[in-house]
Copies of this chain bind each other. A is one copy, B any other.
Amino acid sequence: MSPELPVPETGVLAVASHVVSGHVGNKIAVFVLQSMGCDVSALNTVQFSNHTGYRQFKGMRVSAQEITDLWEGLKQSHLDNFDLMLSGYVPGAAAVEAVGRIAKELKADAATRPGSFFWVLDPVMGDNGKIYVAEDVVPAYQDLIHHADLILPNQFEAELLSGVKITDSATLERAIEVLHEKYNLPHIVITSVSFPLSASQAPSLAGSRAHSPAPAAPGSPQQSRAPQTRTMSVVGSTRTSDRRPRLFKIHFPVFDCYFSGTGDMFAALMVVRMREAVCNNGGGPEGGVLNTESWLSPDGVDALDLPLAHAAEKVLASMHEVLARTCEAMPKEMEAAVARLRRKGGVGQNGAQQEGKNGEELDEKTLHLLRSRAAELNLSRNLACLRDPTVAYRAEKM
């Protein structure tokens, strides 16, 4: 293994959206996974010009039948061998079911080799109290998630899946209990827990969704430099043999800016770091779980010693560094975008006149578009943040 690569050779099937411009869905997940040394098969569920947070886009969805065809194409050429699968945004219930069939086939194939296949499912359905997929996607995921090894819902999605409204620590714990008990889920990470703040107040580091149709408060470059005063939490758990939670939380500061693609980046990093934790700690306190079904640690392993907790710490460290650098670059990005628009004669349209270099007098729609572009995660020039982050936020007991 190359010294800087965190995982041994790892084949990942990544199923998510593709955008031509910007960094959400597979567009960011594939790059993260490849940069960390994984061999990635990327099945794109849509091809859009840009993410939906811009509030306008063009492009096409891939149908359930086409997803199935691509999978059949892989199988007929013996290209269906994967150590992990990561599934993200899938358009519509039929397509979710098609993706679920792929995962189930891979699970079945691995049945005689425990731990040889691991499904990380990001059940993309909504955020901040709003569902932004078709209604029938929710039951489609409810039917599927008991096949997953690790799910990565945000707070709202955890509510949809568990049926528990999360308002405080007790209801949060109850929701995770339900997910372990009812669906027998091995690992759960809730990527954005914001109480005692209400969910709607908090654009999050790790939980904002690429497919949110209309972020309530798109950040401005100015906002991005404001001190990071609010915190949020990631809350995770690996179940015991009798389906009880082993809970940990990690607090992290929130940037006052609306990012898209953070959930997808979080998920891709979790794939790598979870495998890393399981591979590297075969003899450690976690016990050797690489050849254990769903990489479930023995009951004696404490929450803070879970591979899941170690993985989440590293993931958040990378996330924080990438977001910090993205924020840092935003004013310059905005300035360049406004200058380009001025050159093209696009500034001043709709009666607004351009005065300042940050386009203060642009119409609101144009400003939103430019800000959305400036908030795209800045990854390709910040690879060190992925590979070698400094862990600053540690897992704590709940």
Please name the residue on chain B nearest to A11 by beta carbon.
Answer: B21
Residues of B within 8 A of A31 (CB): 30-31, 34
Contact with B along A27-51 (1 / 0, CB 8 A): 1001101110111111110011110
The listed residue (B40, B56, B66, B109) touching A380 by CB distance below 8 A is B40
Residues of B within 8 A of A44 (CB): 18, 20, 44, 47
Residue A135 lies at the interface, judged by CB distance under 8 Å to chain B: no
Q: Which residues A346-387 have CB closer than 8 A to chain B?
A: 346, 366, 369-370, 372-373, 379-384
Binds B, one of A57-65, A195-203, A251-259: A57-65
Contact with B along A1-35 (1 / 0, CB 8 A): 01001000100000000101110000100110111
CB A231 to nearest CB in B, in angstroms, measures 29
Residue A214 lies at the interface, judged by CB distance under 8 Å to chain B: no
Best-surrounded residue of A18, A49, A57 (most CB of chain B within 10 A): A49
CB A388 to nearest CB in B, in angstroms, measures 13
Beyond A31-B31, A37-B381, list 14 extra A-B contacts (CB 8 Å). Answer: A2-B382, A2-B384, A20-B43, A20-B70, A20-B73, A21-B41, A49-B70, A49-B77, A57-B73, A58-B69, A58-B72, A59-B66, A59-B69, A78-B373
The listed residue (B73, B344, B379) touching A50 by CB distance below 8 A is B73
Residue A217 lies at the interface, judged by CB distance under 8 Å to chain B: no
CB–CB B35/A380 < 8 A: yes
Residue A337 lies at the interface, judged by CB distance under 8 Å to chain B: yes
7 residue pairs bridging A and B, Cβ less than 8 Å apart: A2-B382, A27-B42, A31-B31, A58-B69, A78-B341, A78-B346, A109-B344
The listed residue (B21, B33, B70, B337) touching A47 by CB distance below 8 A is B70
CB–CB A60/B54 < 8 A: no
**With known contacts A2-B381, A42-B27, A43-B20, A50–B35 Cβ distance under 8 A:** no
| Distance, CA A43 to CA B20, complexed state (A) | 5
Best-surrounded residue of A27, A42, A70, A337 (most CB of chain B within 10 A): A70
| Distance, CA A211 to CA B42, complexed state (A) | 19
Residue A79 lies at the interface, judged by CB distance under 8 Å to chain B: yes
| Distance, CA A38 to CA B344, complexed state (A) | 23
Residue A229 lies at the interface, judged by CB distance under 8 Å to chain B: no
Residue A240 lies at the interface, judged by CB distance under 8 Å to chain B: no
CB A111 to nearest CB in B, in angstroms, measures 12
Residues of B within 8 A of A60 (CB): 62, 66, 69
Residues of B within 8 A of A392 (CB): none
Residue A340 lies at the interface, judged by CB distance under 8 Å to chain B: yes
CB A361 to nearest CB in B, in angstroms, measures 16
CB A188 to nearest CB in B, in angstroms, measures 28
Residue A280 lies at the interface, judged by CB distance under 8 Å to chain B: no
Residues of B within 8 A of A50 (CB): 73-74, 77, 79
Best-surrounded residue of A44, A77, A373 (most CB of chain B within 10 A): A77
The listed residue (B33, B77, B344) touching A54 by CB distance below 8 A is B77
| Distance, CA A76 to CA B372, complexed state (A) | 13
The 8 closest A-B pairs by CB, nearest first: A49-B73, A58-B73, A21-B79, A34-B380, A21-B41, A58-B69, A20-B43, A49-B70
**With known contacts A49-B70, A54-B77, A337-B78, A380–B20 Cβ distance under 8 A:** no
Residue A291 lies at the interface, judged by CB distance under 8 Å to chain B: no
Residues of B within 8 A of A34 (CB): 31, 35, 379-380
